[in-house]
Every structure is written in structure tokens, then in C-alpha cells.
Structure 1
Amino acid sequence: METNPRGIPKAPFIENVEDHVTEQEPVEIVLRKFQEAVAKYKFMEVNMLQRKRNLDTKVPEIRKTLEMVQFLQSQAEEDESKEIETLYELNDTLFATAKVKPTGKVNLWLGANVMLEYPVEEAAELLSTKLEAALKTLKNTEEDLEYLRDQITTMEVNTARVYNWDVKQRRLARAKEEATGEE
């Protein structure tokens, strides 16, 4: 079965409905399989959208932190005895002013209530790597979302084609019965 680079299966397009609907697989079973496939694709889409939302908030945070580390790095290179006056956030609506001497070290939150001290250069390298990985993951997630939308559309078109074919077959059968019943 054909898949995209991250393993999401490609939905088959049903060219000829008669070849797909058989006595072993009547219309009801085919339609149920198509609906299950659509449900699976939509489930994957919901998960991808959640991942995208998380990355959409994570990327700017990493960028902002990287910019701050690079600023501290440039200040430390200029003059280590020079104080930097800064505004920092105490909570959502409360800020305070502080004077800070560049030390050449920064503390980074790693998650799960873990903070580590890094030399500024190492922190900048780590954040650059994390930003690069997050941007790549975001790009892949956006590609996967587009791919999933295409697969959902394909399966919905397949469902409509099989349903319409079934309606047409029933009408033909009914017309045939009426024609033979009148004679």
C-alpha cells in the first residue's frame, strides 16, 4: 500500500464501482469500510491539528528564548562589567525592572519542572537545534494535514460514487420489475 513519507496510507480512488462492489462485498460493506477509513483519517487529522497548535506556540517561545540568549551572548562579549537593565515578567500582568550583569551562563527550562544551567554558547546552540527541529516538525505536520485532507476528500468521493451507483442500480432494478410486471 502506498503511503506518504511519514506512513499515512494513501486512499485508493475507485475508478469503476462495478469492479469494487461484488457479491462477497456488497454495497453496505463497501460503504462501511469507506466510512471507517474516513473516520480514521479524521482522527489522524485531529491529532495533527493538535500537534500543529502545540508547535505554533512552541516555535515563537523557542525563537524568543534564542534571541534573548544571543543578546546576552553579545552583551557578554562586549563588556562583562556592564549591567543590562531589563524588564521581566513576574506573572501575566505584572512586570518588574532589574539590573543584570552578564555572567556567560543562562538557565533554561527543559520541561517537567527541570531547569539546567548552560554556558551561553551552548544554550544558543541547543536552542538553535531545538528551533530547527520544531520548524521541520511543523513543516511535516502541515504537509501531513494537507495530505490527510486529500485522502478524506478521496474517500468521501468514493463513498458518494458507490452510494450513487447503488441508487442507480436500485432504480434500474425497480424499473425492470415494473416493466416485467406490466406485461
Structure 2
Amino acid sequence: MATDSTKVATTTNHSGIPESDFVDNVEEFMHKPDNESAEVVLRKLDERHNKYKFMEYNLNTKKTRLKTQIPDIKTSLDIVKHLQQRKDIPDPLETRFLLSDQVYAKARIPPTDKVCLWLGANVMLEYNLDDAQTLLEKNLGTAKKTLGQVDDDLSFLRDQTTTLEVNMARVYNWDVKRRQKMPAMP
């Protein structure tokens, strides 16, 4: 990545996360016409820092949701595959299913070629076993791909946050040195 001392961030990358360029020459950067004072620049950088923290929170929330969703999809897919194997066996499948936390009920499931899947937002649809398997495999692939993208975005965001924090420290230190050089008022 090439450094440019005249800009802090103008390009976007990784799901719209703005890129923060390293401020190589603070003196030159601070004498740009749109940089009124160190306080104004630090306020802008702090605002960007807060946006990065908000994005990080949202990405971590999405990552947590996906990490719980993927095992649920895998479990549903395993059940559908098991039902496909047993659909030609005339004996009912005896199992237990979860009613609520720590409460299970016994069930006898006759051979079937249909299942009902929760799609979200209190929506359940009936599918034949082949369609259910196709849908669950597609959802599993999408969830894994999205989790990988979220991990990439989080890594990129951490890099941008570090660069921004270094820029903030450099501007602050530049301002301290500038103030120390000013003559003291009697």
C-alpha cells in the first residue's frame, strides 16, 4: 500500500469500510487548507475511530450469529440425510426431540419424504427431502462464505484502526511539539 501524506482516507474496500492511509509527513499534512487546527483534525480522526469501533461491533455480532447458525444448519442437514436413508424402511423412527430447555419428548416418526424447515421470521415451509437437502446445503455454503468474508473484514478493520490510532498519536505529538516551541506568555 502506497502512503500519501496528503490524505487520511478516501478509498473504500472490504464491504465499504473506508481505508485509512498512513500520514507519513505530519507537518505537510497539517498545513493542508482543510486542516484548520490539530484539534479539528483529531476530532475528525476520533469520529472515524468511533465509526470503526461501531463497524467492529456489528461485524462481531454478525460473526457470533453465523457461528451459532452454521451448526444448526449442519444438524438439520444431517437429520434430512438420515430421513432420506430411512424413507424406504417401514418401521417408524423412534427419537426424542427438544420441547424447551432440558425438556424432551419421545416421538415415533413414520417414514416420510417431507420435512418442514424454519426459514426465519416465524415462517415454516414444507419441502420434500431432496429440496430440503439442496436448500440446507446452499444455506450452509452461503453461511460459511459469509463467515469468511466477515473474518476478512474484521482483519482489514483492525489494520485500519491501528493505522488511524497511529495517525492520531502522530498528530497529537506534532501539536505538543508545536506548542512547546511557541514562546511562553508572561
The normalised TM-score by structure 1 is 0.89
Q: Does 1:81 align with 2:81?
A: no
**Which of the residues 52, 56, 59 maps onto 1:45?**
56
What runs of 5+ residues in structure 2 fail to find an aligned partner?
Answer: 1-9
Q: Which residue is 2:81 aligned to?
A: 70
Read off the aligned partner of 2:38 and give its amino acid letter. V
Q: Does 1:4 align with 2:13?
A: yes
What runs of 5+ residues in structure 1 fail to find an aligned partner?
Answer: none
Q: Which residue is 2:123 aligned to?
A: 114
**Which of the residues 91, 99, 108 maps onto 1:99?**
108
If asked which structure has higher relative contact order (CA below 8 Å, sep 6+), I would say 1
Q: CA deviation at 1:137?
A: 0.8
Task: Decide whether the 8 Å contact of 2:114 with 2:128 is kept in 1.
Answer: yes
2:173 and 2:14 mapped to 1: Cα distance?
34
User: Whose Rg is larger?
Assistant: 1
Q: CA deviation at 1:97?
A: 1.7
**Which of the residues 29, 44, 47 maps onto 2:40?**
29
Q: Does 1:147 align with 2:156?
A: yes
**Which of the residues 54, 57, 61 maps onto 2:72?**
61
1:169 and 1:14 mapped to 2: Cα distance?
17
Percent identity between matched residues is 47
Distance 1:171 1:60, change over 3 A: same
Task: Decide whether the 8 Å contact of 1:59 with 1:135 is kept in 2.
Answer: yes
Q: Which residue is 1:17 aligned to?
A: 26
- The superposition leaves residues 114-133 of structure 1 with CA deviations (integer Å, 9 ceiling, x where unpaired) of 11110001000000001111
Task: Decide whether the 8 Å contact of 2:14 with 2:156 is kept in 1.
Answer: no
Task: Decide whether the 8 Å contact of 2:12 with 2:19 is kept in 1.
Answer: yes
Q: CA deviation at 1:23?
A: 6.8
Q: Which residue is 2:7 aligned to?
A: none
**Which protein has the bigger helix share?**
1
What value does the CA root-mean-square deviation take over the aligned residues? 1.7
Read off the aligned partner of 1:75 and give its amino acid letter. R
Aligned length: 175
- The superposition leaves residues 61-115 of structure 1 with CA deviations (integer Å, 9 ceiling, x where unpaired) of 1111111111111112xx3312211111111111122221221110111112211
